[in-house]
Structure 1
C-alpha cells in the first residue's frame, strides 16, 4: 500500500497495490494491522455504501459529535468523487483549512479522515458508488454539518456542467463562524 500524507496533518491518501494481468487485477484494499501501524490505531465498526446517480451530487459537509465522532476511510467502487475534509478542531493551527483529493474506482485510492474534520464529496461521474468504513455507528442525535460553500473556507469544488445537487439539509447547514465548538485540538492529533 502506498501512503501519501496530505497538506492537513492526520488526513492521508492510501492507494492499495494492484496485481494484474489480462484477466483483471487483485488488490488487498484494507489490512487492519497495516492501517493501525501506518495510519491510525483505530477500529472500524461499520461499513457504509452510497450511490449517487447524477454528476454533481454534493453530500456534506458532515460530522458527528462525541461519543459518536467518526473517523472515515472512503473509497469509490464505481465512478469518481472529489473528496473533502475540513479541520473543525478548536485551537488547531489548521482550523478552517480544507484538503481535497479525487478518488476514482480506476485508481482505487482511498482517503482517511479522522474525527475532528467535517467531510463531504462531489460526484464527478454518474452512478458513482462510494464505500466507507467508519469508527463509530451513525447517531442522528449527534449528526451535525457545515455549509458546503462557506466563503471563509472557500473550497475549490470542481466545475460540473450539471451544477450541484444537494439535500435540503445540506443547503442550510451553519457557516464555520456559527458552528458550535465540537472538537478541541491537542498536540497528540498530529
Structure 2
C-alpha cells in the first residue's frame, strides 16, 4: 500500500459563485496541470477529482500521493482562486471547510490502541492503516497532517522494533 491522501472540502465564499462556474471549471482544469503538479515527479501530483457549487460554497475532492499532498494542494488553490473570483465577480473566499480527510499509509503487523490528537478513527486494512482526521483550516496551514503522519510512522516503527529481549538489551548497553 502506498501513501494516499483524500480530502473532501469546500471553499466558503462571500456570495453565490454560480455565475462564475465556467471560470472555476477553467481554473481547476488549469490547476490540475500546473499548481498541483509543481515540485512532483511526472504523474505524481495532486488532482481535483470532483467539484461542485453547493449552498454558496465550492465543494471539491482532492486525491494525492506522497509529493503534493492534498492539504497542501487546497491551500495552494485558495489564493489564486480568490484573485480570479474577486477581480471578475467581486466574490471573496472566506475560508476552507474540511468535511472529510483520510490518509492511507503502509503498516505491517498489529497497531494496538493508539490515541493521537486530531485522528478520529484508525482502521486496519490489508497492508496498511487508514487514518480519518478531524482538522480545520488552521490545522492545515500549520501542517498538522504531516506531523500526524510522522508520529504514526514512528509509532509503527516502534511497534515493529520492540518485543524481543535482545533488542531492549542493545538499547541499554
TM-score normalised per structure 2: 0.24
TM-score normalised per structure 1: 0.22
| Structure whose residues are more often strand by fraction | 1
Larger radius of gyration: 2
Q: Which has the higher contact order (CA 8 A, sep 6+)?
A: 1
